[in-house]
Amino acid sequence: MLDIRLITEDSAKVKERLKYRRVQSDLIDTIISLNTEKRETQKSADELRNMKKTLSKDVGMLKSKGEDASGIMAKVAGINTRLESLEEKEKSVNSGLESAMLIVPNLPLEDVPEGADDTSNVEIKKWGTPRKFDFKPLPHFELGQKLGILDFERGARISGSGFTLYHGGAAKLERALINFMLDTHAQAGYEEKLVPFLINSASLQGTGQLPKFKDDLYRIDSSDLYLNPTAEVPLTNIYRGEVLRESDLPLKITAYAPSFRLEAGSWGSQTRGLIRQHQFNKVELVKFTKPEDSAAEHEDMLSEAEKILKLLELPYRVVLLSSGDMGFSAAKCYDLEVWLPGQSGAEGGYREISSVSNCMDFQSRRASIKFKRDSTGKQEFVHTLNGSGLAVGRTLVAVMENYQQEDGSILIPLVLQKYMDGLKAITAAKQ
Helix (H) or strand (E) holding 402: helix 392-402
Residue 299: what residue type? E
C-alpha span between 347 and 85 (Å, rounded):
59
Domain range 4-102, CATH architecture: Orthogonal Bundle (1.10)
Start-end of H helices in 232-321: 232-236, 294-311
Eight-class DSSP state of 287: E
Query: CA end-to-end span of the chain, whole Å?
Result: 50
Instruction: From first to last of the 431 residues of the chain, give the pLDDT tens digit.
Output: 999 999 999 999 999 999 999 888 899 999 999 999 999 999 999 999 899 888 888 888 888 888 888 888 888 889 999 999 999 999 999 999 999 999 999 999 999 999 999 999 999 999 999 999 999 999 999 999 999 999 999 999 999 999 999 999 999 999 999 999 999 999 999 999 999 999 999 999 999 999 999 999 999 999 999 999 999 999 999 999 999 999 999 999 999 999 999 975 454 445 679 998 999 999 999 999 999 999 999 999 999 999 999 999 999 999 999 999 999 999 999 999 999 998 764 444 899 999 999 999 999 999 999 999 999 999 999 999 999 999 999 999 999 999 999 999 999 999 999 999 999 999 986 65
pLDDT at 7: 97
User: Which of 276, 351, 365, 366 is flagged as catalytic?
Assistant: 276
Domain ranges of the chain: 4-102, 118-426
Which of 317, 282, 325 has the alpha carbon at shortest distance from 20? Answer: 325
21 is a catalytic site residue: no
355 is a catalytic site residue: yes
* pTM confidence score: 0.92
Q: Give Cα 34 distance to the centre of its chain.
A: 28
pLDDT at 61: 85
User: Which of 37, 90, 352, 380 is flagged as catalytic?
Assistant: 352
Which of 276, 277, 287 has the alpha carbon at shortest distance from 254? Answer: 287
Residue 49 burial class via C-beta count within 10 angstroms: exposed 0-12, middle 13-18, buried 19 and up: middle
User: Which of 355, 357, 364, 388 is flagged as catalytic?
Assistant: 355
Q: Identify any residues that bridge with 287 across adjacent strands, giving them in sequence order.
A: 252, 385
C-alpha span between 154 and 142 (Å, rounded):
15
8 Å CB contact between 254 and 346: no
8 Å CB contact between 303 and 321: no
352 is a catalytic site residue: yes
pLDDT at 269: 43
383-391 and 350-358: which strand pairing?
Answer: antiparallel
pLDDT at 348: 47
Helix (H) or strand (E) holding 251: strand 251-260
User: Which of 17, 232, 259, 261 is flagged as catalytic?
Assistant: 261
Angle between helical axes of 168-187 and 294-311 (0-180°, round to 10): 140
Domain range 118-426, CATH architecture: 2-Layer Sandwich (3.30)
User: Which of 351, 354, 394, 401 is flagged as catalytic?
Assistant: 394
